[in-house]
């Protein structure tokens, strides 16, 4: 099977195609006032992996479709993903995204710079502005998706309806479960609970990217088409593997490469598979040591490092890496149902990238 490196060149090229549309001054320039425009553009201008657009385009190509025709739909998925990040960063109180301030922090900085607002008024303004920026991105997503070329209008309407009716509901359910799990004792949350939550938060949108790409390529509204089903399942499994790898990198990754804080999941006490596996196998004394650090926002960097060492010693990191690999193996079983081509080789490279990446 191709390695991750086989995929990265294809990803880079498709990122350029998408960015021409996402960063078009004619689109961003219409957003007012300036503070709102700055936030809407901020995450987009910093780059990002652009994985979801690439998956949609490669899935389209894998069934014989024309990638260029679906660039607007692919770019729309990046906008969809971006508005969820903007809102997620508020919920998680994160301060760093893609190497720069998160939306609500940037909004607060603009208020302090331009109007000399002080905390907490500036912070409140930043949160409000970030919510509104996400709303604008969501609206632009729908408009952009409908701009796909040489596609039957009824198919575009079908896919947008699916995105807005089903994907939004699933994703928000997953986000809600993530919040609720954080309020429950660790002993009451199972790894299976969290894996389902991760599928809803991350796997569902990747599943839609693959399904939409295949349906656009085949120009069909039949979601039960065998090729559509095979690619959708492949992408859903890869999406869950992506989130598992993301949780690992959140513990042991390089903050400079990631562009977001490392160790924040420990401080927040997020119920991740890494944490749940560690508590499952830990003895009473080790569990108590972890409990003094996990979910403690006042824990020192040294204490966080101690917690990371404990997670490693307990085998939790290796266990979650194996889980990610299991999902990739399931993904490959589905991809084998699609006729081999350069596109399936790229998709296979993407699957390997999910568990090999360091950012």
CA–CA dist 48, 279 (Å, integer): 33
Q: Give exposure, 232-243, as e/b (b: 16+ Cβ within 10 Å).
A: bbbbbbbbbbbb
Please choose, from the candidates 320, 168, 342, the residue with its C-alpha nearest in 3D space to the C-alpha of residue 251.
Answer: 320
Q: How far apart are CA 212 and CA 53, in angstroms?
A: 11
Return the bridge partners of 101, or none.
96
Strands (E), the chain: 96-97, 100-101
Pairwise CA distance, residues 226 & 243, whole Å: 26
| Summary count for the chain: helices (H), strands (E) | 19, 2
Determine the pLDDT at residue 297. Answer: 85
Q: How far is CA 319 from the centre of its chain?
A: 22
Quickly name the fold that domain 4-356 has.
Answer: Farnesyl Diphosphate Synthase (1.10.600)
As a whole number of angstroms, the distance between CA 44 and CA 98 comes to: 10
Buried b / exposed e across 309-336, counting CB within 10 Å, b at 16+? ebbeebebbebbeebbeebbebbbebbe
The confidence score (pLDDT) of residue 1 equals 46
Full pLDDT tens readout for the chain, 359 residues: 455 677 999 999 999 999 999 999 988 989 999 999 999 999 999 988 999 999 999 999 999 999 999 999 999 999 999 999 999 999 989 999 998 999 999 999 999 999 999 999 999 999 999 999 999 999 999 999 999 989 999 999 999 999 999 999 999 999 999 999 989 988 899 999 999 999 999 999 999 999 999 999 999 999 999 999 999 999 999 999 998 998 888 887 666 665 556 677 888 888 999 999 999 999 999 999 999 999 888 899 899 999 999 999 999 999 999 999 999 999 999 999 999 999 999 999 999 988 887 65
Q: What is the pLDDT of residue 359?
A: 57
Contact 142, 168 (CB under 8 A): no
pLDDT at 110 (0 to 100): 98
DSSP 262: S
């Amino acid at each position: 099977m191709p390695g991750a490196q086989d995929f990265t060149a294809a990803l880079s090229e498709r990122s350029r195609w998408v960015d021409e549309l996402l960063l078009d001054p004619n689109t961003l320039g219409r957003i007012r006032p300036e503070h709102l425009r700055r936030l809407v553009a901020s995450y987009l201008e910093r780059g990002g992996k652009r994985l979801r657009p690439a998956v949609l385009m490669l899935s389209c190509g894998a069934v014989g479709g024309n990638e260029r025709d679906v660039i607007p739909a692919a770019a729309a998925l990046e906008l969809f993903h971006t508005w969820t990040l903007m809102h997620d960063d508020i919920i998680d109180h994160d301060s760093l995204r893609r190497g720069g301030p998160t939306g609500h922090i940037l909004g607060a900085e603009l208020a302090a710079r331009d109007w000399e607002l002080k905390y907490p008024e500036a912070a409140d303004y930043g949160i409000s502005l970030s919510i509104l920026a996400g709303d604008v991105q969501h609206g632009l997503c729908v408009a952009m998706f409908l701009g796909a070329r040489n596609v039957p209008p009824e198919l575009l309407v079908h896919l947008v309806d699916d995105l807005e009716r089903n994907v939004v509901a699933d994703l928000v359910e997953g986000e809600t479960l993530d919040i609720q799990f954080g309020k429950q004792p660790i002993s009451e949350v199972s790894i299976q609970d969290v894996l389902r939550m991760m599928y809803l938060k991350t796997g569902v949108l990747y599943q839609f990217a693959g399904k939409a790409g295949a349906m656009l390529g085949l120009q069909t509204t039949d979601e039960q088409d065998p090729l559509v089903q095979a690619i959708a399942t492949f992408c859903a499994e890869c999406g869950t593997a992506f989130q598992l790898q993301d949780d690992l990198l959140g513990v042991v990754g390089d903050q400079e490469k990631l562009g977001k804080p490392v160790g924040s999941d420990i401080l927040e006490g997020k119920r991740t598979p890494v944490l749940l596996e560690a508590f499952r196998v830990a003895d009473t004394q080790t569990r108590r040591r972890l409990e003094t650090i996990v979910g403690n926002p006042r824990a020192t960097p040294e204490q966080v490092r101690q917690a990371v060492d404990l997670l490693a010693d307990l085998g939790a990191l290796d266990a979650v890496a194996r889980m990610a690999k299991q999902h990739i193996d399931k993904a490959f079983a589905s991809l084998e149902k699609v006729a081999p081509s350069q596109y399936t080789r790229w998709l296979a490279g993407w699957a390997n990238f999910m568990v090999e990446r360091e950012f």
